[in-house]
Structure formats: C-alpha cells, structure tokens
Chain A
Amino acid sequence: MIKAIGALLLRAAVVLLGTAILTFALLWNAPGDPAQTIAMARFDALLTDDVIDQIRDEVGLNTNFWHAFRAWLGPLLRFDFGYSAVTGRPVWPDLWTAMTYTFPLALAGLASGLALSLPLAILATKRPGGLLDRTSVAIASLGAAIPAYWLGLLLILLLAVQLGWLPAMGARTPAHAILPAVTLGLGVAASLTRIIRSGILEARGQPFLPAIRRRGVDGRAVARDHIAPHAAIPVVTVFGLELAFLLEGAVLIEVIFGRPGLGTFLVQAILSRDFPHVQAVVVLTALVFVVVNLAIDIIYRAIDPRIGTEDA
C-alpha cells in the first residue's frame, strides 16, 4: 500500500512537471515576446526596452528553451505568480478572489447535480427497464448533449427574462448564484444519473445478495450496507471526470452570467494577452486537477485493495 502510494506520488510529480513544461512551451511559442512576459510577471508593468533586454540575457532567452524554463519555473515553485501585465497589480490576490467565486459555484453545481441525479437514479432502478428507468436514461442522454452555455441561456430566457423570478447577470446577492449553480448542476446530473444508475444495478446484481435477503435482513439494511458501498466506487472515480466538467462548465457559465471568477478572469486575460494571468490560471487548474485525481486514486485503492499499481 505504502509502495503503491509512493508510485502514485512519483507519477503525480512527473505529471506536474510535464504540465509546467507544456504551459511554458505554449507561452514560449505564443505570438508575442516571452521576455516581456517574464519581465511583467516579475516586476511592475511598463518597463523600458533596456530592462527587457537585460532580462532576456539574464534568463537566457537568447540561449535556449530549458534555461528559460528553469528561470520561469523558480518563482512558480514558491507560489509567486508575479504581476499582471495589464494592471501591474500582483496576480495572486486577484486570482484568489476569482477562486472564491468559482470554487463555491463548482461545489454548488456538484451539490445540485447530486440532488437531482440521486433521486432520479434511485427511482429509475426501482424497476429496471420500466418506464421511469427509460425516461431517466433518455433525460440523461439529452442532458449530456446540451451545451452548458446554451442551457444557461435558455434558463436566463425562461426564469429571468420571461418569468422574472431570478436575477441573471452579476453576483451581487446569493440569489444571483442560483441560476449558474443550477445550470452547472443539470449538466453534472446528466452524467451522474447514468453512473449512479449503473452502479446501483451492478451492485444489486452481486451474487451474494439473495442469500443475505433470505437470511431475513430487511431491504433497507441491504441497500445501506451492501448496495451503497458498491455504487459508491464508480461515483468516486467519476468525481475526477466531473471535476473537469465543473471547471469547464464554470468557465463558460461565468461568462454567460457575467459572474466574476476563474472563467471570466481567464477569458479577460487571453483577450488582453495578460500572460502572467493566463499562466496562473493554467498552472492552478492543472495543480487542482492533479491533486484531486491523486486523492481519488488513493481513496479508490483504500476502498478496493485489489487494484494494482500498473494500470496506467
């Protein structure tokens, strides 16, 4: 077990290094001057050409990619994201503010997704193949095909514009978070319903269950002690996939609802070619992603020790 976790940690470290290389390669090859980017990230905005030339020499931009990469990586390892190339303000406080909007939204999305999918999946599995089951599968398929941003627009159109029940744009009050969270939740619910449904069906198909029932254990106890843990395993693994969906969804949904957050932060940064901001978001999402997936791998192994180390 210790050895397996060690291997997972090593792998995560390698992947993180890879993400750093990829990110830097992207900035290196993007149209624009990387020396200026690094200068902006390190110091204040509005530098003279002399200073930029000096950085170019110092960082080794004239020499090669790997020199420059090491110079770039150093501050990042100390969680120093530098300064915005546009406003000249430090990146970290603004990034943190954006995160305080996005992560709660993602969690609310996940929560409402679970709140929708769990009852739907349980209802569907009451009679597998029945009308309810087929309807829920159809809803889930439809849900997976609807782009999150279009769904958001439709909800705005219906609930904010036509009915006027909820505010749509901005993030001034908690009520402003309802529509974005529900939009995100509906998208998550589509895939979660399928996964929980097949998880329950698979767990129910366990050969030992009829024997347990015959011994007179009541249905609710069987569901709690034997079916739920089995159905939980795919849910845990899928959380890693949903995380990607939540982050992607959040990016688009923030733009639609005019909410501050990582998505608006990123899109703004790209449009204004604010490289320090872009690289901060990219590095941060990759970090979150790798850490969460690492945690999932470890949890998964704890639930089911049969899983080997060589499943790359």
Chain B
Amino acid sequence: MRSVLFVVIGLVALAVLGPLLAPYDPTAIDIPNRLSAPSARFPLGTDALGRDILSRLLYGARWSLGLAFLISVLSLLIGTSIGLIAALGGKSADWLLMRATDTFLAFPELVAAVVIAGLMGAGTWSLIFALSVTGWMRYARVARGIGLSVQNQGYVVQARLAGMPGWSIARWHFLPSLIPSLTVVWTGMFARAILGISALGFLGFGVQPPNPEWGAMLLDARVHMRSTPLQMIWPGMAVVTCVLTINLAGDALRDALAKQSSHE
C-alpha cells in the first residue's frame, strides 16, 4: 500500500510541480531555433515549431498524468457503484448489470474509445468521457465479487439487524474489504489510462494542439522522424517510465496483499 502511495504522490507532484521546473513556455514558437539538437539552451532540443521539448514534456505531465488520474478515478466510481448495486440489489438487478458489463466488455477498449472520442468530436471532454465509459468494467466485476462475499458475513447481518443505515454499512463494513483489491485494479487502470490518452492523442482524437500531451507530441514528432529521431524518443520514454512505475507498484501491492491473506 505504501509503495503505491509513494508512486502516486510522486506522479501527482510531477504533474503539479513539473511546469514550475520548465525553462520555457511550452507553446512559445521560436522558428529560427526549430528542430534543434539537444544543447545547453534546449536540453532535449526543440520541435518543428521551435518549442522547447523539455518544457513541453514537463507541462505534458499535467495533461497525461492528470487526465489519467481523473479518468481512472471516474471509472472507479462508476464501476464500484455498478458492482455494489449488482451485488446488493437482488438477483434481477445483478443479472441485468452484469450483462451490461459483458456488453461493454464486448468492444475492444481502445477501439471503442477511438470511435466515441472521434464521433463526439476531438477534444479533452470527449477524451475523458470515452476512456471513462470504456474503463469501468473491471472495477464493477471486482466490487461485485467482494460485495457478494461480504454481504453474507456475520458482521454485516448483525449491522443490518441493529438497524444501521445502508450508507453506514457500506462505509464501515464494505469499504475496508473493497479498498485493497480496488487499489490493485486502479493502478492497472491508471497505467492503461496513460496509454489510452497517449494513443488517442497520437491518432489525433485526444488532447488538441497546441497543448503538450505526450501522445500528441509523438504525432508531431513522427513527421520529422528521419531528421530528428530524438524528438520522438522523449515522449515515448516519458509514457513508458510512468506506466512501468505504476505497474511495478501495483504488482508489489498485489503480492503484499496475497502474502497477507495467505498468512491469515
């Protein structure tokens, strides 16, 4: 749990503080210095419009990480509510909601996101909508499974007999069981959201120029691949580093939880 917390805090800090470290305005065009190689003045070089790549990367963290955080939390909320309603709302609600979940799972996530974002018109809001609406299903399945097992625990029966209100039972008896597993799912979905945002950005359906999102930067860089290949390396490295860190933290958390539950 702690390692995940550190990683999240680190990434949030990067998203918040990154722009403060940026030496230049990420959208400032400087044609005389376009496509320049890394130098003391531009540590990672400049892009086709002469914008400083380091500054764009640092500002880009806000788009890529911030949006990924928002999207993964939104789908966490959607998925957990649907899963819990399925678990606690009776047989027919369960059947209906689980078939709805299957239905959403029947579209390859990214293809669906591309279609939704594309048809709604490219932009940040359609990006958020498209990735949240295609990303809640795993949470729903996990929350439903845990909900079903906790519901029959003696202490939940006792709380209901005592007359505890539903939200209070959810807060004190369901939440503690839900948090660990949902955190593991969440780390995976956070990483996937970063990949999804950059993929949509790369296809041109995501964050729109001149905003410095990592995928959109790759799209810009691709044209100049032959002359300045390095320009294409940096944004990709940024994506890989973040996704890898989050995945490793998630793995560590999952292993720790598995160890804990095998001890009991």
Q: CA A243 – CA B107 in complex, angstroms? A: 11
Please count how many residues in chain B sit with their CB below 8 Å of the partner chain's CB atoms: 44
Residues of A within 8 A of B120 (CB): 30-31
Q: CA A16 – CA B95 in complex, angstroms? A: 15
Known: A30-B120, A31-B120, A271-B118. Contact between A289 and B232, CB under 8 A? no
Residues of A within 8 A of B114 (CB): 251, 266-267, 270
Residues of A within 8 A of B195 (CB): 147
- Select B236's contact among A154, A243, A256, A266, beta carbons within 8 Å: A154
Residues of B within 8 A of A21 (CB): 103
Least CB distance from A183 to B in Å reads 13
Residues of B within 8 A of A22 (CB): 103-104, 107
Whether B203 lies near A267 (C-beta < 8 A) is: yes
Least CB distance from B229 to A in Å reads 5
Whether B98 lies near A153 (C-beta < 8 A) is: no
- Select B102's contact among A11, A244, A273, beta carbons within 8 Å: A11
Residues of B within 8 A of A145 (CB): 191, 239-240, 243-244, 247
- Select B109's contact among A244, A255, A271, A286, beta carbons within 8 Å: A244
For residue B225, CB closer than 8 A to chain A, the reply is yes
Q: CA A147 – CA B247 in complex, angstroms? A: 14
For residue A247, CB closer than 8 A to chain B, the reply is yes
Least CB distance from B215 to A in Å reads 8
Known: A18-B103, A141-B244, A244-B109. Contact between A282 and B115, CB under 8 A? yes
Least CB distance from A280 to B in Å reads 11
Residues of B within 8 A of A159 (CB): none
In the complex, per-residue mask of B205-237: 1 if CB is within 8 Å of any chain A CB, else 0: 100000000000010001001100100110010
Least CB distance from B17 to A in Å reads 23
Residues of A within 8 A of B119 (CB): 26-27, 30-31, 270, 273, 278
Whether B115 lies near A266 (C-beta < 8 A) is: yes
- Select B100's contact among A18, A252, A289, A290, beta carbons within 8 Å: A18
Q: CA A26 – CA B118 in complex, angstroms? A: 11
Please count how many residues in chain A sit with their CB below 8 Å of the partner chain's CB atoms: 47
Residues of A within 8 A of B99 (CB): 11, 14-15, 18
Q: CA A290 – CA B115 in complex, angstroms? A: 18
- Chain B residue at smallest Cβ distance from A17: B103
Q: CA A255 – CA B201 in complex, angstroms? A: 13
Residues of A within 8 A of B203 (CB): 252, 255, 267
In the complex, per-residue mask of B100-131: 1 if CB is within 8 Å of any chain A CB, else 0: 10111011111110111011110000000000
Whether B240 lies near A248 (C-beta < 8 A) is: no
Residues of A within 8 A of B225 (CB): 153, 156-157, 161
Q: CA A248 – CA B203 in complex, angstroms? A: 12
Q: CA A22 – CA B134 in complex, angstroms? A: 12
Whether B108 lies near A147 (C-beta < 8 A) is: no
Whether A248 lies near B239 (C-beta < 8 A) is: no
- Select A248's contact among B95, B103, B111, beta carbons within 8 Å: B111
Whether A286 lies near B107 (C-beta < 8 A) is: yes
Q: CA A25 – CA B199 in complex, angstroms? A: 24
Known: A14-B99, A252-B199. Contact between A147 and B236, CB under 8 A? yes
- Chain B residue at smallest Cβ distance from A22: B103
For residue B202, CB closer than 8 A to chain A, the reply is yes
Q: CA A145 – CA B198 in complex, angstroms? A: 12
Q: CA A142 – CA B247 in complex, angstroms? A: 9
- Chain A residue at smallest Cβ distance from B222: A153
For residue B248, CB closer than 8 A to chain A, the reply is yes
- Select B247's contact among A144, A154, A290, beta carbons within 8 Å: A144
For residue A83, CB closer than 8 A to chain B, the reply is no
Q: CA A141 – CA B246 in complex, angstroms? A: 11
Whether A15 lies near B243 (C-beta < 8 A) is: no
For residue A175, CB closer than 8 A to chain B, the reply is no
Whether B118 lies near A270 (C-beta < 8 A) is: yes
In the complex, per-residue mask of A138-179: 1 if CB is within 8 Å of any chain B CB, else 0: 000110111101100110110001000000000000000000
Q: Which of A248-294 contact B (CB under 8 A)?
A: 248, 251-252, 255-256, 266-267, 270-271, 273, 278, 281-282, 285-286, 289-290, 293
For residue A19, CB closer than 8 A to chain B, the reply is yes
Whether A312 lies near B236 (C-beta < 8 A) is: no
- Select B107's contact among A153, A270, A282, beta carbons within 8 Å: A282
Q: CA A282 – CA B109 in complex, angstroms? A: 11
Query: Which one of A147, A273, A290 has the highest number of Cβ atoms from chain B below 10 Å of its Cβ?
Result: A147
In the complex, per-residue mask of A214-244: 1 if CB is within 8 Å of any chain B CB, else 0: 0000000000000000000000000000011
- Chain A residue at smallest Cβ distance from B198: A147
Whether A150 lies near B98 (C-beta < 8 A) is: no
Known: A30-B119, A252-B199. Contact between A15 and B110, CB under 8 A? no
Question: Residues of A with Cβ closer than 8 Å to B?
Answer: 11, 14-16, 18-19, 21-22, 26-27, 30-31, 141-142, 144-147, 149-150, 153-154, 156-157, 161, 243-244, 247-248, 251-252, 255-256, 266-267, 270-271, 273, 278, 281-282, 285-286, 289-290, 293, 312
Question: Residues of B with Cβ closer than 8 Å to A?
Answer: 94-95, 98-100, 102-104, 106-112, 114-116, 118-121, 191, 195, 198-199, 202-203, 205, 218, 222, 225-226, 229, 232-233, 236, 239-240, 243-244, 247-248, 251
